[in-house]
Structure 1
Amino acid sequence: MKKSRRSAVVAIAAIAALALAGCSAQSSPGGKTDAGGDADASFSDVSIIVPADPGGGWDQTGRTMAKVLTEDKIVKTAPVTNVGGAGGTIGLAQLATEKDPATLMVNGLVMVGAIETNASQVRLEDTTPIARLTDEALVVVVPADSKYETLKDLVEDIVDNGQAVTVTGGSAGGADHILAGLLLEAAGLDSAEIPQKLNYTPNAGGGEAVSLILGGKVDAGISGVAEFQQHIESGKMRALAVSGAEPVAQLPDVPTITDAGYDVELTNWRGVIAPGDISDAERAELERIVTEMHDTDAWKKELETKGWADAFLTGSELDTFIEQNITDVTGTLKNIGLI
């Protein structure tokens, strides 16, 4: 009798231990799973980090994501935090210390270049790619009362007068800076001449660039079409050219850079990454959340409204794309003398 009783107590204790282990593996405070090993992960909330100041393309991307994710009830909450500076590398450094696996950081071509020009200790390879989301043409603009009527007017003045002509845009080494360098390369300058001629003022967010252009503090600006569109339509800025292979729907009368006389094409992709030390299950859950967002009608409507091309990519294809993009951007930065 005593032996049977002891066996029953041991059995109950074992069952309780298994049940407790199962509970702790399934959820953690805040509705976020502490998924160890190959366990499934399930996030009811995500945090979104925008590694730039408010007003630019990354900020628009992060806040649009938060809106769709919550309004379509894919997650309960998706708070957005801005951590601006150094082309996203300050935010990237913060992501490296992030302990919450349910964290998404907006990134893209700008960050790839900024990592090189800022000699960032934390690299894109140290993070977990989740998805490429969009692709957007850039636009070269001048204030409405500018003396430059065409892109050729602007580029030739930079070639002739160098540092006397000021151009603004996003971070140093980002897509806007690269495009400015490529334009001067197409105009015949070599990699040694471009840094000497190009007077480029970088900004931590699109809002700062807008202020400089509208305030007449610079001669020209470069950014994503969506960031300057309202100011172009209101007549406060004049668009000289767009950087894609074709004119964009929002600015149908604005020529491409190629049509304006320079053999240059460049588009700016944006996506999201996560901390580098998350598990495979946690990466899969974040991919599921972002994929579900991408498939909504609300996201498709936002793409159309903002003029963002759908460039959705996940998994191993995304890994390959990012690896190649790092190689390509680094080579371009060297060719045009920016690193």
Structure 2
Amino acid sequence: MRRTTLAALMLVTTCLVGTARAQQMDTLTLIAPAGPGGGWDQTARALQSAIQKGGKVGAVTVENIPGAGGTIGLAQFVERERGQGDSMIVGGLVMLGAILTNNAPVKLDQVTPIARLTGEYEVVVVPASSEFQTLDDLLAALKENPGGVAWGGGSAGGTDHILAGLIAQGAGVDPAQVNYVPFSGGGEALAAVMGGHVAAGISGLSEWVGQIQAGTLRPLAISSPERLEGLDAPTLREAGVDLDLVNWRAIMAPPGIDDAQKQALVQLVDETVKSETWQETLKSKGWSDAYLSGDAFASFLAEEDTRVTAILKSIGLVK
């Protein structure tokens, strides 16, 4: 009996020490595999702020590694951070699409899923000075000359590109004829739209909401199933295109970490998303709470790969 009690005490002590260690992290690096200003960069910096205010990590840094829809950053992350429990990478639907369209050698089944964080609807915009007053106007020009209407957005094969293809398909235009101009960061895409280098832009609402509110960008449609409060724009369905689409973003750890390291990161993110700081961020940026962590997120990721592959094939972006 005494031996059993002693063994139990030792087990409890070990668990407590392990938990304490999991909660005490000196540093954490968050990789945003895109340029400054875009959705992944905003997500990484919002998470950085919320984690630091939570006091569970001494210092949190954000590193930008742009290019190829996040696949360059993903490849570096997998090679450089393997087995390290003090780093995570932001990714999501855009990265999944880019992996498929670029036939990238590094895929999301090579990282350790931690959590799906947010969902965000896509907005179609034009400069305030544009001749296109409505989505009908834009689609009329698209039908007349598909290649003559340039769409600007994030990386090739990402959510913005997928939506452009689906809108064209819904309007009876061959998606393969869409003139889509990809940019590695939200700032570059915004400059192209504002400068008139593309006819229309597609992005997550949070990236361009400031310009919409300022009146320099005109929203033509939002990819949500219902109108969003505070945004004077119809849904795509209202505008005659029968679809909706949400862009999800997530956080993932390197391959090769052990169960204790994985659980420490899951616990850290679990606690962070419940914080007042993170909840205020969701409201201010118009992000929906799509939180799903651990094994449940891993299952979602596998199912999403199948779904997105089918979509990309249907619009001709994947053979």
- What's the counterpart of residue 93 of structure 1? 75
- The alpha-carbon deviation at position 79 of structure 1 amounts to 0.3
Among 165, 176, 184, the residue aligned to 1:204: 184
Among 177, 181, 202, the residue aligned to 2:165: 181
Gaps of 5+ in 2: 1-16
> Once the two structures are aligned, what percentage of the paired residues are identical?
45
1:140-187 deviation per Cα after TM superposition (whole angstroms, max 9, x unaligned): 000111111111211221121011111000000000000000001111
Change beyond 3 A, Cα 1:312–1:231: same
Summarize the alignment of residues 204-223 of structure 1 with structure 2, pairs less than 5 Å apart.
Answer: 204-223=184-203
Q: What residue identity is the alignment partner of 1:279?
A: D
Summarize the alignment of residues 105-120 of structure 1 with structure 2, pairs less than 5 Å apart.
Answer: 105-120=89-104
Structure (1/2) with the larger strand percentage: 2
Find the aligned partners of 1:159 and 1:171 in 2 and give their Cα distance.
Answer: 24
Summarize the alignment of residues 288-307 of structure 1 with structure 2, pairs less than 5 Å apart.
Answer: 288-307=267-286
Among 283, 294, 298, the residue aligned to 1:319: 298
- What's the counterpart of residue 31 of structure 2? 49
Work out whether residues 47 and 78 of structure 1, in 8 Å CA contact, stay in contact via their aligned partners in 2.
Answer: yes
Work out whether residues 128 and 275 of structure 1, in 8 Å CA contact, stay in contact via their aligned partners in 2.
Answer: yes
Find the aligned partners of 1:257 and 1:74 in 2 and give their Cα distance.
Answer: 42
TM-score (norm 1): 0.86
1:6-35 deviation per Cα after TM superposition (whole angstroms, max 9, x unaligned): xxxxxxxxxxxxxxxxxxxx89xxxx97xx
Summarize the alignment of residues 69-148 of structure 1 with structure 2, pairs less than 5 Å apart.
Answer: 69-97=51-79, 98-99=81-82, 100-148=84-132
Work out whether residues 167 and 199 of structure 1, in 8 Å CA contact, stay in contact via their aligned partners in 2.
Answer: yes
Find the aligned partners of 2:120 and 2:287 in 1 and give their Cα distance.
Answer: 5
Q: What residue identity is the alignment partner of 1:77?
A: A
Summarize the alignment of residues 253-292 of structure 1 with structure 2, pairs less than 5 Å apart.
Answer: 253-292=232-271
1:234-281 deviation per Cα after TM superposition (whole angstroms, max 9, x unaligned): 111100000011122341x21100111110110100010111111111
Q: Does 1:336 align with 2:318?
A: no
Q: Which structure has the larger Rg? A: 1
Q: Does 1:236 align with 2:216?
A: yes
Find the aligned partners of 2:229 and 2:160 in 1 and give their Cα distance.
Answer: 20
Find the aligned partners of 1:113 and 1:163 in 2 and give their Cα distance.
Answer: 22
Among 134, 139, 142, the residue aligned to 1:150: 134
**CA-based RMSD:** 1.8
TM-score (norm 2): 0.91
Among 129, 149, 152, the residue aligned to 1:168: 152
- What's the counterpart of residue 175 of structure 2? 194
Please give the secondary structure, in 2, of the residue aligned with 1:45.
strand
Q: What residue identity is the alignment partner of 2:91?
A: N
Find the aligned partners of 2:315 and 2:284 in 1 and give their Cα distance.
Answer: 34
1:301-337 deviation per Cα after TM superposition (whole angstroms, max 9, x unaligned): 1100000000000122111111111111111000001
Find the aligned partners of 2:235 and 2:70 in 1 and give their Cα distance.
Answer: 28
Instruction: State how many pairs are aligned.
Output: 301
